[in-house]
């Protein structure tokens, strides 16, 4: 069920460059369980889009099926959304993007949706270098079908009903890195300070941006022994760097921080500023990113933050050499070769 929110707007709400407030980026009232990590993700998306001053109607919200895939209903009411079928959001997003490359594609999926039924589509949309933000709300279980283990669950952990995860987990960040995603990050839904700038950077990034967001399921996977519970994640999360996002128009006026930092300029002129906490931190090294993820995991830690970024990677449309006008706006006279041409085509079959 979804419920409409009251349209009442408080006068003192801050407005962004478009004159819109956070409220203009909200969605219907969430029907997810109170405390579900997915709601924090929605809230972070609302903040990121409002602060970036993106016109909501230029965003398309895409999702599969699951609690996580319902989330797009709970943010950005003025955006079109498409809640597709289980595991197949990537193909629908591909088609949507092929039809109109000028929209921002914000996609939400779950670990069941992406790492099990949709693993093939996930892999291939990464390969296609589609310009989109692909977020997985990773809770280690199937929320909507009541708590079965997901393929992202760590080996050996038990779900609420006592079933043990017998097999190795699938790490979607490692897969995304291996398959050529140009932006890969891992976040924790409970850490808004980290999540919001990373979502902003992912939106600004031209290319395939993947964010795996550890998002605890309070109902089915928040028990002791779970490695996706709030307590466990909070205790084991670690990061190599703090990420700030500086939009294109803002001068970098922030105090030069102490310690090592790096500015990465994106396609549109915006900047990602990275404050390195770990000396060896390097977002340009794909192989190292894979090793880092794995090494932290072996130490029982969850490595979060921006793991890899290639700001100049080509996107699908560059590779395809698609025309500048979005396909859904090309007029009939350019699409239909007409009678005369058909006459000569007919002749070639006589």
Partner 1 sequence: MINENVEDNTSTKINDFVVKFANTNGTGSASANNMFAKAIMRMGIPVSAKNIFPSNIQGAPTWYEVRINENEFLGRRGGKTEIIVAMNAQSFIEDIEDVVSGGYLLFDSSKQIPADLLRDDINYLGIPISSMCLKEFQNPRQRQLFKNVIYVGALAALLDIEFGVLKTLVGDQFKGKEKLITPNVYALELGFQYASNHFSCPLNFKVQRRDLIGNRIMVDGNTGSGLGAVYGGATVVGWYPITPSTSVVEKFASYCQRLRIDPATGKKNFAIVQAEDELAAIGMAIGAGWNGARSFTATSGPGISLMAEFLGLAYFAEIPVVLINIQRAGPSTGMPTRTQQSDVLACAYASHGDTKHVLLFPESPAECFEHSALAFDLSDRLQTPVIIMSDLDLGMNDHLSAPFIWNDKQKYDLGKVLSIRELDNTESFGRYRDVDGDGICYRTFAGTHPNKGAFFTRGTSRNEDAIYSEKSADYVDNMRRLERKFATAATLIPKAEISSGLQNTQIGLIYYGSTAQAIGETKHILHKQGIPVDLMRIKGFPFGSEIKKFIEQHEQIFVIEQNRDAQMRTLLSTELNIDPNCLTSVVCFDGLSITAKQISNDIIQVIEQQIPNQEVV
Ligand X SMILES: Cc1ncc(C[n+]2csc(CCOP(=O)(O)OP(=O)(O)O)c2C)c(N)n1
Binding site for ligand X (CB under 6 A): 65-68, 86, 110-113, 137, 139, 141-145, 150
CA atoms within 13 A on the CB side of 156: 2
The one segment of 19-27, 32-40, 156-164, 167-175 that binds ligand SF4 by CB under 6 A: 32-40
Nearest distance from C-beta of residue 319 to partner 1, angstroms: 11
> Could you say which residues in the range 37-96 bind partner 1, by CB under 8 A?
55-61, 72-73, 77-85, 88, 90-96
Beta bridge partners of 141: 149
Residue 324 vs residues 161, 229, 258, 268: alpha-carbon distances, Å: 53, 46, 44, 17
Could you identify the residue written with the tokens 């707007």?
9
Residues 139, 227, 239, 283: which binds ligand SF4 (CB under 6 A)?
Answer: 139
**Contact of residue 113 among ligand X, partner 1, ligand SF4, none (CB under 5-8 Å per partner type):** ligand X
Beta bridge partners of 188: 214
Question: Cβ-count burial of 3 within 10 angstroms (0-12 exposed, 13-18 middle, 19+ buried)?
Answer: exposed
Selection from 84, 72, 18 nearest residue 50 by Cα: 18
User: Pairing relation of β-strands 261-265 and 271-276?
Assistant: antiparallel
CB count within 10 Å of CB 103 equals 18
Q: In b/e form, how buried is each residue of 34-70, taking b as 16+ CB within 10 angstroms?
A: eebbbbbbbbbbbbbbbbbebebeebbbbbbbbbbbb
| Residue 315 found at the interface with partner 1 (CB under 8 A) | no
Asked if residues 195 and 203 have their Cβ atoms less than 8 Å apart, the reply is no
**Contact of residue 298 among ligand X, ligand SF4, partner 1, none (CB under 5-8 Å per partner type):** none
Asked if residues 118 and 89 have their Cβ atoms less than 8 Å apart, the reply is yes
**Contact of residue 323 among ligand SF4, partner 1, ligand X, none (CB under 5-8 Å per partner type):** partner 1
**Contact of residue 36 among partner 1, ligand X, ligand SF4, none (CB under 5-8 Å per partner type):** ligand SF4
Nearest distance from C-beta of residue 138 to ligand X, angstroms: 8
| Residue 19 found at the interface with partner 1 (CB under 8 A) | no
User: How far is it, in rounded angstroms, from Cα 207 to Cα 317?
Assistant: 10
Nearest distance from C-beta of residue 67 to partner 1, angstroms: 14
| Residue 102 found at the interface with partner 1 (CB under 8 A) | yes
| Residue 344 found at the interface with partner 1 (CB under 8 A) | no
User: Both tokens of residue 246?
Assistant: 């500086």
**Contact of residue 346 among partner 1, ligand X, ligand SF4, none (CB under 5-8 Å per partner type):** partner 1
Nearest distance from C-beta of residue 183 to partner 1, angstroms: 21
User: Both tokens of residue 142?
Assistant: 């199937």
| Residue 153 found at the interface with ligand SF4 (CB under 6 A) | no
Asked if residues 40 and 108 have their Cβ atoms less than 8 Å apart, the reply is no
Residues 109, 153, 194, 219: which binds ligand SF4 (CB under 6 A)?
Answer: 219
- Cα–Cα–Cα angle for 74, 80, 82, nearest 5°? 80
Nearest distance from C-beta of residue 32 to ligand SF4, angstroms: 4
**Contact of residue 122 among ligand X, partner 1, ligand SF4, none (CB under 5-8 Å per partner type):** none
**Contact of residue 218 among partner 1, ligand X, ligand SF4, none (CB under 5-8 Å per partner type):** ligand SF4
Q: Using CB under 6 A as the criterion, which residues of the chain lie in contact with ligand SF4 when the complex forms?
A: 32-33, 36, 38, 67, 139, 143-144, 217-220
């Amino acid at each position: 069920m979804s419920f409409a929110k009251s349209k009442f707007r408080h006068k003192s709400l801050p407005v962004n460059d478009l004159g819109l407030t956070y409220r203009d980026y909200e969605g219907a009232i969430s029907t997810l369980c109170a405390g579900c990590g997915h709601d924090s993700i929605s809230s972070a998306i609302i903040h990121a889009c409002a602060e970036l001053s993106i016109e909501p109607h230029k965003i398309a919200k895409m999702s599969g099926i699951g609690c996580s895939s319902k989330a797009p209903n709970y943010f950005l009411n003025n955006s079109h959304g498409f809640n597709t079928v289980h595991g197949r959001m990537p193909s629908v997003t591909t088609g949507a993007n092929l039809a109109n490359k000028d929209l921002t594609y914000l996609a939400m999926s779950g670990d069941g949706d992406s790492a099990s039924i949709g693993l093939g589509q996930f892999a291939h949309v990464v390969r296609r270098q589609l310009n989109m933000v692909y977020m997985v709300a990773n809770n280690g279980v199937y929320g909507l079908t009541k708590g079965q283990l997901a393929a992202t669950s760590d080996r050996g952990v038990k779900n609420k009903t006592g079933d043990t995860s017998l097999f190795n987990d699938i790490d979607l960040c490692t897969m995304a890195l291996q398959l050529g995603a140009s932006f890969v990050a891992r976040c924790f839904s409970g850490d808004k300070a980290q999540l919001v700038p990373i979502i902003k950077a992912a939106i600004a990034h031209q290319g395939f941006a993947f964010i795996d967001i550890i998002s605890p399921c309070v109902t089915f996977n928040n028990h002791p022994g779970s490695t996706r519970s709030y307590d466990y994640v909070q205790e084991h999360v670690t990061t190599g760097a703090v990420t700030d996002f500086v939009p294109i128009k803002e001068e970098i006026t922030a105090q030069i921080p102490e310690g090592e930092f790096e500015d990465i300029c994106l396609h549109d002129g915006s900047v990602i500023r990275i404050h390195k906490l770990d000396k060896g931190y390097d977002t340009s090294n794909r192989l190292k990113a894979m090793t880092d993820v794995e090494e932290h995991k072996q130490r029982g830690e969850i490595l979060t933050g921006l793991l890899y970024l290639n700001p100049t990677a080509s996107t699908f449309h560059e590779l395809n050499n698609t025309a500048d006008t979005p396909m859904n706006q090309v007029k009939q006279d350019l699409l239909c070769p007409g009678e005369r041409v058909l006459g000569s085509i007919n002749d070639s079959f006589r």
